[in-house]
Structure 1
């Protein structure tokens, strides 16, 4: 997302074509988190999909108002949250089933807090990965990016499956220790 905001800051809004491209890139990077935000309030997937679709339309309409110095995910999730609450008010008021304002506010605070914690962990993860050897970085990237599975990786590189699982477990523990250490250091 940082790359996206830097691009907007250096290029401005530009013509409609580049505006569409920037919006598409931003939305693609934020879509899963927008959907997750909506699902925190709306338990039914079909309803959540409708709200996300409506949110995407609003994001496009308001994209000119987006401040490139802000985080697109946070901005878009704020809009998605308001859309989800409006949906709940309309749909469930008819049935007498609606979250109270205080409960909805608490859910949003928890979602925002967990989102911030995940973002901090993601930052520390990237810092920690830089300390790993390049071959370990590549191994983790291939496995976690979905490019391959551990089984396919073992066959392709002619390695024993058991030793790869041991290696993966060791790397995960190293990453977790590093992330926790960096987070603790930051909060001292």
Structure 2
């Protein structure tokens, strides 16, 4: 894969996280879209400076933070404006939240692999678009209540596994 192809892969992979991060600072989805586009332009301009041996998301979030702060400065004449210290605090908290989210996502992936094949398949089918408990129950020849109970037990087991995994990683 070429350097630019790798960069496109990386930037594409983090779009949702960048948008959520920007939205936490600007609080307006339309404006967050605009700030994200501006961030993407700056990232592309700075792509040669990216060190591929380091994580991409924190690097990209730094540019997103700068773009969001620039947007906030431009909007200072509006009634509700955050000072730079508050904006920085919000950005720092969003970065910390992103690390926690990533830890939970990795723990979920690990815990899903620990489920049996039938349980994994059931969870995957349940969360497909347009899937419903009633349709899955009918296809499986069980009642909706029985299927709901089974899904609840699987989700509970996943939650316990995720909590245990994160706790173990915190102490290692």
- When the two structures are superposed, what TM-score results if normalisation uses the length of structure 1? 0.80
Match of 2:68 among 60, 84, 94: 84
Q: State the Cα deviation string for residues 48-107 of structure 1 (Å, max 9, x = none).
A: 111111111122222222222222222222211110111001122x33643112211211
Match of 2:103 among 120, 127, 141: 120
CA positional deviation for 1:172: 0.9
Q: Show the 5 A alignment for 1:138-177.
A: 138-146=121-129, 148-177=131-160
Structure 2: which 5+ runs fail to align? none
Structure 1: which 5+ runs fail to align? 1-10, 14-18
Determine if contact 2:69/2:84 at 8 Å carries over to the other structure: no
CA-based RMSD of the aligned residues comes to 2.1
Residue in 1 that maps onto 2:39: 55
Q: Do the aligned partners of residues 159 and 99 (structure 1) sit closer, same or farther apart at CA in structure 2, a change above 3 Å counting?
A: same
Residue in 2 that maps onto 1:29: 13
Q: Which moved more, 1:94-103 or 1:131-140?
A: 94-103
In the TM superposition, structure 1's runs of 4+ consecutive aligned residues that sit over 4 Å from their partners are none
**How many positions carry a matched residue from both structures?**
171
Q: Which moved more, 1:132-141 or 1:157-166?
A: 157-166
CA distance in 2, matches of 1:76, 1:103: 21
CA distance in 2, matches of 1:140, 1:90: 46
CA positional deviation for 1:159: 3.1
- When the two structures are superposed, what TM-score results if normalisation uses the length of structure 2? 0.87
CA distance in 1, matches of 2:118, 2:35: 43
CA distance in 2, matches of 1:145, 1:57: 33
Q: State the Cα deviation string for residues 147-171 of structure 1 (Å, max 9, x = none).
A: 7333332333333211121111111
SS in 1 for 2:21: helix
CA distance in 2, matches of 1:155, 1:64: 54
SS in 2 for 1:95: coil
